Structure 1
Amino acid sequence: MSHTRRLYICCILAIIAASALWLWWQGRVLICKCGTVRLWHGEVMSSENSQHLLDWYSPSHLIHGFLFFALSVLFCRLAGRQMQFFPALTISTLIEAAWELVENSNSVIERYRSVTISLDYYGDSVVNSVSDIAMMILGFGMASRLPVWLSVLLVVGMEIVTMLVIRDGLLLNIVMLLHPLDAIREWQALR
């Protein structure tokens, strides 16, 4: 492994560690208050949602990775350059980590609670936030190796599955955070 690649990997790990420390300093719990860390927690309407490693919102972070990869390629093409994997991944990790900090700020948590049906949401655990960043990295890596048509199919498939199973997903999350619609909130309440 080249020295430059090791440097980017160290930067990525430092970004993840810094975001975890910031979240902990801001009062987020390290692990679920239940005292355990599960690989999967599938019950959305639960105080343990977003407290374990993986949950129904993990696919949206995987999708972030696919989208960040596509945007990186597009940006580099517009700039007349070829995308370099590790610099683009480092920037994407920084953006994802920043999102985790914003998403887990008191104001955004209160926004989720006031405009969605997530009344029991009090923020992610630090473990869950780190896992969310890792899911973005996984999605970025997958997108770099898969054909575009398969990446698009996976993104659409993940959104459809989460919408059908939990009546939520990345697109609905964005809509409800930015411009809440009563029709969506009522549909989601039918879970």
Structure 2
Amino acid sequence: MTSRRTAILSFAIVIAVAAVTLLLMGRHPICTCGEVNLWVNLRDSPKTSQMLADWYSISHIVHGLLFYAALWLVARRWPVEWRFTVALLVEAAWEVTENTPFVIDRYRTATTALGYSGDSILNSLSDITMMAIGFLAARKLPPWGSILLVIVLELIPLFVIRDNLTLNVWMLLAPNSGVQAWQAAG
């Protein structure tokens, strides 16, 4: 089997398993509002994390760029399709974990996501796809291009919605009232 077929098969299997797992966890397939939109432009909308993409989708592209770099560092002798599969599994595991009551409650108490109720299955599968896009972009870009892209993809949401992957992880692991106040003021 070609490496392209292996990557496509890995992607399809991981997406299917993630979708079934999230469904069994009681996640809604789409927004409970009954709509499916391509983009949600607000950080704190009830539709955020419910539609195909929002400002947080950008952080999943960054995941892919970072996973590519990390797996290149620790497993560069592995075929790229294996590294891609590992990245998919890690991202899917995060999407499942992110939608557990423990993590949802943690987001509500430690970040500015006060009304966060978890992701729709559609949004979770889109997030996994965004990670795949980031991983595949990193595979084609020179290292400096990937680094530049990570910086840009962190700065844009930082300025637009006062949040990004770095702040999201920071606030989830070690909440800071000053950062939370700054984010809430935006």
TM-score by length of 2: 0.96
**Residue equivalent to 1:63:** 62
Aligned residues between the structures: 186
Structure 2: how far apart are the matches of 1:71 and 1:110? 29
**Residue equivalent to 1:180:** 175
Q: Are 2:23 and 2:121, in contact at CA under 8 Å, matched by a contact in 1? A: yes
2:95 counterpart (92, 96, 100): 100
Structure 2: how far apart are the matches of 1:104 and 1:163? 24
> 1:123 Cα shift?
0.1
Q: Where does 1:3-152 land on structure 2 (aligned, <5 Å)?
A: 3=2, 5-77=4-76, 81=77, 83-152=78-147
Q: Structure 2 regions of 5+ residues with no counterpart?
A: none
Q: Structure 1 regions of 5+ residues with no counterpart?
A: none
Structure 1: how far apart are the matches of 2:156 and 2:45? 20
Aligned-partner SS, 1:37: coil
| Residues 9-62 of structure 1, C-alpha deviations (whole Å, 9 max, x = no match) | 323211111111111111111101111111111111111111000100011000
| Residues 67-122 of structure 1, C-alpha deviations (whole Å, 9 max, x = no match) | 01001111125xxx3x4211110110000000001111110000000111211100
Runs in 1 of length 4+ with deviation above 3 angstroms?
2-5
Structure 2: how far apart are the matches of 1:31 and 1:132? 14
TM-score by length of 1: 0.93
Between the two proteins, what is the percent identity of the paired residues? 46
RMSD: 1.2
> 1:177 Cα shift?
0.5
